[in-house]
Amino acid sequence: MLDCFVKQATCHGVKINYDAKLKDWFKPSDVVMNITFHTEQGRKYNIEEEKLDIFGNFNKEKNTWGALLPVKMFFEAVGVKNPEYNQDFSIPQDYIDQAINRDFLILSYPTNRTNPKSGKPYWNTWRETTSLANGQDKLKTRFAQAVEGGWVKNYQARPQEEESFNPAEFDDTKNGVIEVNNEAELKDTLAGLI
């Protein structure tokens, strides 16, 4: 089994921007969705609010979710039955309203970037989520398939002696946002998020 950690999260808020950029140097996306949440593990380390950003484009030619399938998965995870986007490729406001204070499962994984002070890996939150009813095994299986398929390029298992997840290693000063300093780092980081 892959090195990852699944935890229960409670949604605080969902903000959606259309035809927007997650960062100034990114290309515009049809949807940039910012989810704020908390976990009990995070609260043990005084992290009151964490953040997950999902962004991408619909496949408008085929009229599908396209790269925004994780948006659909998030709304399913918080109890929206068969979520569909509007004809204008927007997300219905009632989906956002239903998500508040709902629980869902998220997965964190060690990356190939290390903290220079501790020598331990930084952790990322994977952009796919699932419901409590589906359970963590389903999320871990999807993650394993994504890693094996080459879609999670920045995943790196920790050496065997590092067995426990420490949310303090998750760079809480940036709310899970990875800072990049140049275009080459950006490409490497984006490759790992997709």
The predicted-structure confidence for 100-154, as pLDDT tens digits, reads as follows 999 999 999 999 999 999 989 999 999 999 999 999 999 999 999 999 999 999 9
185: its two tokens: 């780092």
Cβ neighbours for 68, distance < 8 A, ≥ 6 positions apart:
30, 31, 54, 56, 57, 58
Q: Is the dihedral of CA 127, 47, 18, 81 positive or negative?
A: positive
Provide the pLDDT confidence category of residue 44 given band limits of 50, 70 and 90. Answer: confident
Query: Cα(144)–Cα(149) distance, rounded to whole angstroms?
Result: 8
Q: What is the mean pLDDT of the chain?
A: 86
Structure tokens belonging to residue 128: 């796919």
User: Per-residue pLDDT for 175 more than 90?
Assistant: no
Answer yes or no: pTM beyond 0.85.
no
The share of the chain scoring above pLDDT 70, in percent, equals 81
